[in-house]
Chain A
């Protein structure tokens, strides 16, 4: 992808002895793994096993009960990651273009809106409010956040949810070029995305 250059500093992610709990219940204990530049980490586990909590902990949104999470080779910790959650973080009344502009300001990016829209096949619906989009289009718009501002680490929670075959192809392409640039992708998935993972993390239960 020509929109941005590769991540110069060789980012890496290290999780050490991580213990997470929700509402007083321990989800898992002493989880460790590490991922270097270009890694694709697939997090597997049954429903309610703590996949989402693991991603939220790495994102810094959930305070771990124990253990450490570290990013190396990341210049500014505040610019280290993107988190694609289950919820798309879209407002029904705002248009696709509104969202792209908002994210550019919120995350400090300077994208060519048309380029982003074209890549994700959202050009035709650019001016339309989110409430008229299909579920697949809404998910693709959420994916656009990853491209609007570059971040070395992507945390993806069921990224393929609601995507059709073409959407999945776009997603895989995004991940591939992200890795080619030296970025790290961590995805929590119910069924494999079809990209060969460099590491599989099983969340125990």
Chain B
């Protein structure tokens, strides 16, 4: 199997094998649960505020996954081996990102459906919410790779990652929440797709450049 294939398989196995993917899902549900507790159960209020808040919860759940993403590889020496592989590091980082998307991003998008129902979103909008969340997760993970790579050598860098990455979350959040709220759906969805594509293409390149420096 290729370097991309084995990296993808290994990362996915490590994500799910350790039960690690359950934690961000639980975090996601926990965060959405707090919303009605803070705002009150008023149906009309939840209907307008609910879908955007699902987006915030998804962004936070991805953010929580980033701290250890490359830090463990740096500490246990795996990063050196990735660098010595004949395959380009960009490809290996892309494989890690793809595994994260399949292992965490897509489950989060699917979990967006029950969360949105609980927050009184109209049923007919659910497919759109799930689809846009899947695109948004790709964008979050793409820029998240860069943040995680830049802070791989920083101990307890969780807060710093958030600070670095949050400005990059602004565009996908804007267009994603617009899709979820049913505002100007076609335009917002196509721009969101552009964000996801751009982040998935540029993220691994910038992250690999940062990781080469971290290994020195």
Contact = CB atoms under 8 A, between A and B. Distances in A.
Direct A/B contact, Cβ within 8 angstroms: yes
B17 interface: yes
Interface stretch (B80-88, B125-133, B202-210): B80-88
Nearest to A53: B216
B13 interface: yes
B77 A85 contact: yes
A180 interface: no
Given A78-B86, A81-B84, A89-B81, A62 B10 contact: no
Contacts of B6: 101-102, 104-106
Given A91-B10, A101-B6, 5 more contacts: A61-B215, A86-B77, A98-B10, A106-B3, A108-B3
Nearest to A57: B216
Contacts of B13: 94, 98
A42 B214 CA distance: 27
A90 B14 CA distance: 12
Contacts of A108: 3, 86
Given A90-B76, A98-B10, A59 B1 contact: no
A91 B76 CA distance: 8
B30 interface: no
Contacts of B215: 61
B5 A106 contact: no
A106 B17 contact: no
B3 A59 contact: no
Interface string A75-114: 0101101110111111101100010011111111000000
Contact of B77 (A78, A79, A89): A89
Given A61-B215, A94-B13, A85 B80 contact: yes
A83 B85 CA distance: 11
Interface in B13-72: 13-14, 17-18
A68 B75 CA distance: 28
A139 interface: no
Please classify how large the interface on chain A is, using the bins under 10, 10 to 19, 20 to 34, 35 or more: 20 to 34
B7 interface: yes
Interface of A: 56, 59-63, 76, 78-79, 81-83, 85-91, 93-94, 98, 101-108, 145
Given A61-B215, A62-B216, A91-B14, A106 B80 contact: no
A89 B78 contact: yes
Contact of A88 (B7, B17, B76): B76
A63 B13 CA distance: 34
B85 A107 contact: yes
A108 B63 CA distance: 33
B23 to A, nearest CB: 15
Contacts of A76: 86
A104 B86 CA distance: 12
Nearest to B84: A83
Nearest to A87: B77
B216 A63 contact: yes
A89 B10 contact: no
9 contacts: A56-B216, A79-B86, A87-B75, A93-B18, A94-B13, A98-B13, A103-B81, A107-B84, A108-B3
Given A62-B216, A76-B86, A79-B86, A102 B10 contact: yes
B80 A83 contact: yes
A31 B10 CA distance: 40
Contact of B85 (A59, A85, A94, A106): A106
